[in-house]
Amino acid sequence: MPADIAQAIDDAARTIRGSHYVVALVGAGLSAESGIPTFRGPEGLWTKHGEPDLRDYDRFQEDPAKWWEMRISRASQFPELVEALNTAIPNEGHFALKDMEDEGVLRHIITQNIDNLHQIAGSRAITEIHGNRTKLRCIECSSRWPMDEFPMDELPPHCPECGGIVKGDTVMFGEPIPRDALNECIEQTRQCDCMLLVGTSAVVYPAAGFPMEVKQMGGTLIEVNPNETPLTQYVDVVLRAPAGEALPRVVERIRGDSA
Ligand code: APR
């Protein structure tokens, strides 16, 4: 971690303590230290294999039974991602966010990650804007179930609540963000006066738009990322370091101040 980060850690802790409603906007970078590849950047999955095309969801809607048969019978397009997701455990960055929630200084996490690591780390106030890989969701009423608790006795599976078609909860390329999740993100952003940008390249919307809304409402932005992003120019405090190293130090500082 850069030597001169101590001042930034202090600034981040003071800014968080001095804020009323802190929300963390989280991206793939937080789970990088848990061995899950990020999407962009030199080692990114999309950089290496190209981004999935935006017709994924159209293909699902055209023939959901075929989509399910393929999903069940065929290996994933990104086996290294699946392998990493299957074996990953939370890292110090996830636990630091949980500690901030316990300290009462972090009100909510808006995560773009589908890996369920926030929940395993013990965080509670979470909105998964891109879904959760361990769940299924009805595309009509957005009811959700743990994947291993849903009877797969027909393809495509149908929702016991409304009869709608059920798919994985992970939001596909080309699929609209589920209304309930989007509304919660908008509500959390509306209340937010300090947003922590943790491990996101801030290029995918609507998530990438939330920080600027906070800024326009007079709020502050704290970026935790070893690399610059398009939002860096608007950020008040920059922690140019891996989240798993920087966030625990911020918690220490926050706890130190309250001791
Ligand atoms: N700690 C903090 N940040 C990190 C770390 C780390 N240890 N390692 C990498 N990063 C940063 C990178 O510098 C980059 O800015 O994390 C960011 C990861 O960016 P992306 O790979 O673009 O991931 P993300 O912002 O989450 O992408 C958004 O795009 O492809 C879709 O659905 C996918 O949810 C994803 C969305």
**Ligand 1 proximity of 174 Cβ (cutoff 6 Å):** no
pLDDT, residue 43, reads 87
Residue 225 gets which letter from DSSP?
Answer: -
Q: What percentage of the chain carries pLDDT values higher than 70? A: 97
Q: How far is the CA of 45 from the centre of ligand 1 (A)?
A: 10
Helix or strand or coil: residue 169? coil
pLDDT at 41: 84
In angstroms, what is the span from residue 24 Cα to ligand 1's centroid? 14
Strands 135-138 and 166-168: antiparallel
Determine the average pLDDT of the residues in 150-164: 95
Ligand 1 contact, 39 CB (< 6 A): yes
**Per-residue pLDDT at 34:** 98
Mean pLDDT computed over 118-128: 98
Ligand 1 lined by 243 (C-beta under 6 Å): yes
Average pLDDT for residues 197-203, to the nearest whole number?
Answer: 97
pLDDT tops 80 at residue 117: yes
Q: How far apart are CA 84 and CA 75, in angstroms?
A: 14
Strand order in the sheet with 220-224: 126-128, 108-111, 22-26, 194-198, 220-224, 237-239
The predicted pLDDT at position 123 comes to 98
| Cα–Cα distance, 106 to 97 (Å, whole number) | 7
* Residue 127 pLDDT level (bands cut at 50, 70, 90): very high
Residue 227 has pLDDT above 90, yes or no: yes
pLDDT of residue 53: 82
CA atoms of 129 and 113, how far apart (whole Å): 8
**Mean pLDDT, residues 186-210 taken together:** 98
Q: Over 70: is that where the pLDDT of 258 sits? A: no
- pLDDT tens for each residue of 73-112: 877 778 889 999 999 999 999 999 999 999 999 999 999 9
Q: What is the DSSP string of 9-65?
A: HHHHHHHHHT-SSEEEEE-HHHHHTTT---SSSTT-HHHHH-PPPTTHHHHHHH-HH
pLDDT for 2 beyond 70: no
Which amino acid, residue 104?
Answer: G
Per-residue pLDDT reduced to its tens digit, 38-70: 999 888 999 988 888 889 899 999 999 999 998
What is the per-residue pLDDT for 51?
Answer: 84
- Is the pLDDT at 210 greater than 80? The verdict is yes
pLDDT at 52 (0 to 100): 82
Q: Nearest CA to 257 among 38, 105, 46, 94? A: 105
Please provide the average confidence, as pLDDT, over all residues in the chain.
95
pLDDT of residue 234: 98
Q: What is the mean pLDDT of residues 177-203?
A: 98
Asked if residue 146 has a cis previous peptide bond (ω within 30° of 0), the answer is no
Query: Is residue 144 over pLDDT 70?
Result: yes
pLDDT value of residue 3: 64
| CA 207 to ligand 1: nearest atom | 28
* Catalytic residue IDs: 130
Instruction: Convert the pLDDT of each residue in 214-223 to its tens digit.
Output: 999 999 999 9
**DSSP state for residue 161 in the 8-state scheme:** T
- Ligand 1 pocket test: pick from 201, 228, 247 the residue with the most ligand atoms within 8 Å of its Cβ: 201
